[in-house]
A and B are shown apart, each in its own frame.
Chain A
Amino acid sequence: MGRYLASRLLQALLGLIFISTLVFFLVRLTGDPARILMSDFAPLELREQLAERLGLDRPLYEQYFSYMSGLVRLDLGDSFNGQPVLDILLARLPATASLALAALVVAIILGLPLGILSAVYRGSAIDMFSRSVALFGQSVPAFWLAIMLVLIFSVILRIFPVAFGTGPESYVLPSIAIGWAAVAGIARLVRSSMLDVLDSDYVRMARAKGLPPHVVVVKHAFRSAIIPVLTFSGLVIGSFLNGSVVVETVFAWPGLGKLTMDAVNGRDFPVVQGAVIMIAVFFITINLIVDLLYAYLDPRIRYG
């Protein structure tokens, strides 16, 4: 287990270094920040002074090592507006994290029953409905769903607010928009897991013993079928964090996604770098935790 842990930690670290390096160079391919920050009218001398102040006159490798050593110290640098990037990101994190959590709740609350019912009543109208929901959820783009939700539930029915800022009810539509694809994923996963388990010997034994159907399903089948769902749920949180850019924009949600979009539009490179790295850290960390949990739950993996 120790070797497995060390190996996964090393992989995570390498992943982070790779992403940080990629972001550093990609951002610099988009143009000269001094030219962008300063007006077209500014004299060349002033642009050079600004480049010097930002450290952009130094060789690229020096900038790179300075940037990487900053990352080690958790120093993501300053935004072009002078505020520390880490502070800006941390200020936005709660909004994104709470929305991701709400979306996960939506995904589980809707996805689990749909998957269970679909498996238990295989081939029935409920199964058809569940699979249609899954198909719809996985094929509909989140931004389109977000706009439709606003149109139906805000503009026509006037049930939920259009955008962020009016209380807990403002979570409903964006969390559905973000979580809907995961509803589909969870429903399909639960359905296939349940079908496997429902056909297993021990479930047949439970039925033969005369246990009531709901006890067989909930106590025996569901408990075994839930393990892959837990893994999947961990991964979807990561995808919620990086996949909410468009939905946050539609709902004017003050999270990391909208921040990233604004920073891209405003060419605030340090913030773009920081946001991408922070999202990558989340994703890699969640993947790492899931891998370790898997190894803990299934001994075959750690020796594999």
Chain B
Amino acid sequence: MSKKFSTNLATGVVLSLVMAACGSPAASPAASDGELVTVTASLTGQGQDPITQAALEWSHKPWWDDVHDFVIEQDADGNLVPALATEWVASNDGLTWTFTIREGVKFHNGDTLTAEDVAWSWNRIIFDPASTHTMTGRAPVVESITAEGNQVMVVTTSPQAAVPFWWSEVDGESGGAVYSQAYYEDVGDEMWSKPVGTGPYQLVSMEGDQSATLTAFLDEGRSDWQKGRTAGFKDLTIRAAPDSSTRVALLQTGDADVVPLPISAVEELEGSGVELIEVPNATQSVMWCLGFSMNPDSPCNDVRVREALSIAIDRQGIADSVFRGYAEPSSSFMGGAGSHGNPEGLQPPAYDPERSELLLAEAGFDSSNPLQVEIVVADVPGDMPLMATMAEAIAGNYADIGVEATVRIGEEQANKEALFGFEFNGQEPDDPPTPITLYMRGMDNRYYFVDEQATLFTDDSENGSSVWNDEEFPEMSERLRAIQAEFDFDTQGEMMADYHRWMAENWLQMPLLTASAVFGISEKVGDWDLRVAGKGFVHNQWSIQPAE
């Protein structure tokens, strides 16, 4: 039996969340006495200060996110919804964001959450000299973060419309989680071994990287908002099983109740009696030509070549064969269905090998002068699966139209280092025109893309991370910066949708596929608010309700 997750599945839970978030009195469901066992590929994080990581690793999040709360969360449609903050507003000049912090929220040790805790948590992650967190990248534009009463003020040196996203659960990763300053001052770094959060679960123990035991936070002194988020199961055990066949076996033997499944295992399990939940658009992938705008001799400066390389890809065929139907062609990168700024109505590039050959011939490439490309790809745990296999399939599509394609399967960090070190062919003006480097990227399907795209496509040479030449093709950066400076959420969404359409019209990126995340669940599990789709690991475990 298989069921596809939709927002309807969890309407009740989401509704109660939103009600609670808005301050409405919500009923406090009691936690079931039962135990829930979930499985993750990897489990780390106890004893590790979150500021010492580039981002909270996906292997931490299965337990971390249920123990700690964020100031802002994102709903299933990607909208920002209140969590520890009840509201946030920007000043007229766009330089100050003020967050109003929810009152009466309790930490697991009984301390009351204060605005000072929020400011302290955020200041640490951005400004602490020991911080290596992603959020340190915001430091140059953040002037100060201070607390006054129940409000936190973030003052920036230039207007920053994206500030609320920095602290949201998804885009900010661990950046927006709030920790107790008083507890830290009391126990120091022991805090990271015995974490105290405000979340629906509290950590009881952790057996190395093998398992974590959590118990529902049921203190009567909790705020109404916290009571509205009472965990469905009183006890939660999260087990780590790095091998996918082991995870499947744990589900089949009844040793686990919720298990993330590799796509390769899903087909086998269909019809086996195991119930499957498919979360569409969990991960996404894109490919782009590194020579465009950076190397004047690159064939990618010719729009016909860019289009030819995109429409030569049989996206649906790859979705059906490589992903066994658990993926679909995408029309834009970071603009998937339901996301903020989704370009509604924009169709994925149609597969048209004949036109592709024609365009290449017009651009001067045929059997006597075949176009050469090198596809650079990496498989990254937690991101889009089967990337390397997809690259091989694309190379096959290219071979069909006479393009000589090779696939360079690398390690993620090595690829990134080469990318930002301008080592791939086409990244320097004097590089030979071919082979064209086609860089493939996969990632979880976040609902906010501007900063990510801006990192790649704005001139940021001081940082050393630019893969774009602003002088040659300034419109990309201008559009992204305009979106970053737009404070009206709806207008911003429209600008993002326009951006995606403009990218598609100019064939600037090759959106590939979005893939589903698939979970196997036991008969113990009822509803589950999967919330933001872009998570391939078991998350939001507090919202899992016992089956009736």
Contact = CB atoms under 8 A, between A and B. Distances in A.
A82 B48 contact: yes
B133 A249 contact: no
B48 A39 contact: no
A30 B55 contact: no
A250 interface: yes
Contacts of B129: 49
B170 to A, nearest CB: 16
Contacts of B449: none
Nearest to A88: B208
Given A162-B249, A252-B242, A38 B413 contact: no
B173 to A, nearest CB: 10
A36 interface: yes
A249 B136 contact: no
A42 B414 contact: no
B140 A43 contact: yes
Contacts of A154: 249, 253
A15 interface: no
Contact of A40 (B42, B53, B210, B420): B420
A252 B54 contact: no
B7 interface: no
Contacts of A252: 210, 239-243, 246
B210 A165 contact: yes
Interface string B239-264: 11111011001101101000000000
Given A41-B137, A44-B463, A81-B48, A150 B209 contact: no
Interface stretch (A3-11, A254-262, A277-285): A254-262
Contact of A37 (B132, B240, B414, B463): B132
Contact of A158 (B138, B139, B253): B253
A228 B381 CA distance: 45
Given A155-B249, A162-B250, A252-B239, A42 B413 contact: no
Interface in B465-518: 465
B414 A31 contact: yes
B134 to A, nearest CB: 4
A91 interface: yes
Interface string B452-467: 0001000000111100
Contacts of A267: 413
Interface in A147-166: 147, 150-151, 154-155, 158, 161-165
Contacts of A162: 241, 246, 249-250, 253, 255
B157 interface: no
Interface string A75-86: 000001111000
A46 interface: yes
Nearest to B250: A162
A265 interface: yes
B52 interface: yes
A288 interface: no
A57 interface: no
Interface in A132-153: 147, 150-151
Given A50-B132, A162-B250, A150 B48 contact: no
Contacts of B414: 30-31
A266 interface: yes
Contacts of A82: 48-49, 52
Most central of B240, B246, B252 by chain A CB within 10 Å? B246
Interface residues of A, number: 44
A32 interface: yes
Contacts of B400: none
Nearest to B256: A162
Contacts of B57: 266
Contacts of A40: 137, 416, 420, 455, 465
A265 B414 CA distance: 12
A251 B239 CA distance: 12
B246 A250 contact: yes
Given A30-B414, A36-B413, A250 B245 contact: yes
A35 interface: yes
B253 A43 contact: no
A9 to B, nearest CB: 35
A81 B136 contact: no
Interface string B134-149: 1011111000000000
Interface string B402-428: 000000000101101100100000000
Contacts of B55: 39
Contact of B47 (A50, A81, A251): A81
Contacts of A80: 52
Interface in A38-82: 38-44, 46, 49-50, 80-82
Interface in B367-385: 381
Nearest to A261: B242
A150 B249 contact: yes
B437 interface: no
Contact of B134 (A39, A49, A158): A39
Nearest to B129: A49
Given A39-B134, A147-B245, A254-B208, A163 B239 contact: yes
A249 B243 contact: yes
A286 B253 CA distance: 39
B62 to A, nearest CB: 14
Most central of B211, B249, B255 by chain A CB within 10 Å? B249
Contact of B246 (A41, A50, A163, A262): A163
B139 A46 contact: yes
A150 B132 contact: no
B132 A163 contact: no
B207 interface: yes
Interface of A: 30-32, 35-44, 46, 49-50, 80-83, 91-92, 147, 150-151, 154-155, 158, 161-165, 249-252, 254, 258, 261-262, 265-267
20 contacts: A39-B55, A39-B136, A40-B416, A41-B465, A42-B136, A43-B137, A81-B47, A82-B52, A92-B208, A150-B246, A151-B249, A155-B252, A161-B255, A162-B246, A162-B249, A162-B255, A163-B255, A258-B209, A262-B209, A265-B381
Given A155-B249, A258-B209, 16 more contacts: A30-B414, A38-B136, A40-B416, A41-B137, A42-B137, A43-B140, A80-B52, A82-B49, A154-B249, A154-B253, A162-B250, A162-B255, A165-B207, A250-B243, A252-B241, A252-B242
